[in-house]
Amino acid sequence: MKGIFSVAIDGPAGAGKSTVAKGVAKRLGIVYVDTGAMYRAVGLKTIRLGIPSDDEERVVPILDDTDISLVFSDGLQHILLDGEDVTGLIRTQEVSNAASKVSAIPAVRHKMVKLQQKLAENTSLTMDGRDICMYVLPNAQYKFFVTASPEARTLRRYKELEEKGKLEGMNFNELLLEMAERDKRDSGRDCMPLKKAPDAILIDTTYMDVETSIQTVLNHIGG
């Protein structure tokens, strides 16, 4: 491949889109951008400040004093919140829920989208999230919507949180309900909701392993 190009990947939580996006980036030798980490960082800040993550009137005023940036080191993405590397602090279920709530606030989304679009101006990359194909990178050369059944997505997230010791006492059914609520928020918000772009290729990973999921995307790209 020649020139700068973008691979945009959308999908709900637990569908495997981040894993796929990372794998595709590695195979193609390009940068991987996890946009969800940016919203998680904002969510973490609201938690630290004791601000309800869905309280738009209190969240918006902190945005001007909030610096979110990405640093790529040794092929890995690090997320900086006001200069602090919070990469290892944003993967709890509490932060995940906070991220989903702040992401529904238009001012937050607009701030993050500008940062994401700037990253894609001069760099070939894969970018995953919930609004990439339609809103962040509408002119991306390759667009995918990665999904899976609610049960499969919940099981993946459950195992991930269990391995990291971050289940916080939650059982499978509770997590299934929480993820359903998150899906509803992400798909039902007024500003840049989660939905499949008309020109995005649908990939259902319910019965796919990681390697198959990655290769399916690469097959469409031609890599």
Using alpha carbons, select from 217, 223, 222 the residue that is nearest to residue 18: 217
Residues facing 154 on adjacent strands = none
Residue 127 φ then ψ, to 5°? -135, 125
pLDDT of residue 24: 96
**How far apart are alpha carbons 210 and 220 in whole angstroms?**
16
pLDDT of residue 189: 86
**How far apart are alpha carbons 19 and 25 in whole angstroms?**
10
Burial class (CB in 10 A: 0-12, 13-18, 19+), 89: middle
Please name the residues in contact with 182: beta carbons below 8 A apart, sequence gap of 6 or more: 12, 13, 96, 97, 100
pLDDT of residue 223: 55
- Per DSSP, the chain holds a count of helices (H) and strands (E) of 8, 8
Residues lower than pLDDT 70 in the chain: 1-2, 75, 223
Residues facing 33 on adjacent strands = 127
pLDDT of residue 84: 97
pLDDT of residue 136: 95
110's tokens: 């607009």
Token pair 């798909």: residue: 187
SS3 188: helix
Domain residue limits, the chain: 6-221
Rounded to two decimals, what is the model's pTM? Answer: 0.85
Fold of 6-221: Rossmann fold (3.40.50)
